[in-house]
Amino acid sequence: MILEDIIQNWVLELAVQKRYSPHTVASYKRDLLFFKKFLEEHLGEAVSLETFRNLKISDFRAWFSSRIGSGLAARSNVRALSSIKSFFRYLARRNLVDLRVIDSVRRPKLARLLPKPIEKSALFNFLNLDVFFDGDREWVTLRDRALFSLLYCTGLRINEALSIKTREIASEIKIRAKGQKERIAILLPLVLERIKHYVASCPHNLEEGFLFVGVRGKKLQASTVDNRLQKLRLIYNLPDHASAHSFRHSFATHLLQNGADLRSVQELLGHESLSSTQIYTDIDDGSLLKIYEKTHPLER
């Protein structure tokens, strides 16, 4: 079998059967092609399916050493290993390789990075600004305010928010998260009002398309949102970590600080595992202590 054809079929499986996002599929494919290029240089020969069958643990160690020597972060190396293991599992299901060697490769340990929320008062002040950029048309300001309010209200990922269609807007909307798992996002009346105000002012026809659009009427891109936020950080003295994703972190952190239970926050965020949500409990031990003192029977 031709290796290039096998790779293309693997990529197709990731996109169609596993329904990975286009960004994830592109990352996995890129990681594999870089791995293949490394093997060509490392082994001094063209890489074929037979090459993958005959790889030794020392080859994987050499690959990891080259990545570390290039200054790549541990998180990037972990993802690259996941990509290569995914490809090997694909080959193994077709009885093309033995998994024993790749299974013996251990992922590097990652430092635990805590999410960084935006402080409440700073966030509220920002969401209630009359104008974000002086030169913007009114509908653009209304769009941004509606979008930022939606992100903080629901904890949606930026791409989830930008994929919402106008016809889907209601007090509760279904969101298709990573892996195509659905969850419900609850929109508070204030957010619904801001969205309606934006829609009414927008010069583009939004009825049958995406809710959030750019100045030319095309779907608003996540990169555009983050570029605008980078500039807004400087203008309004927001913290350096302020980004579209930090609204999601703020959503989860502020809910827990106000006594929400972990399982509910897990469901709202769309996390598969509770351990993914538990990281937010490490952010503010003081608030959790207050909740504990307020709710434990012996403190009453």
Q: Which residues are catalytic?
A: 157, 178, 245, 248, 271, 280
Q: Cβ contacts of residue 201 below 8 Å, gap of 6+?
A: 138, 139, 142
SS3 27: helix
Task: Tell me the residue type at 93.
Answer: R
Find out whether 14 and 86 touch, Cβ atoms under 8 Å.
yes
Task: Tell me the residue type at 9.
Answer: N
Q: What region, left, alpha or beta, does residue 59 occupy, with left being phi > 0 and alpha being psi -120 to 50 degrees?
A: alpha
Q: What region, left, alpha or beta, does residue 180 occupy, with left being phi > 0 and alpha being psi -120 to 50 degrees?
A: left
* 195's tokens: 């969205």
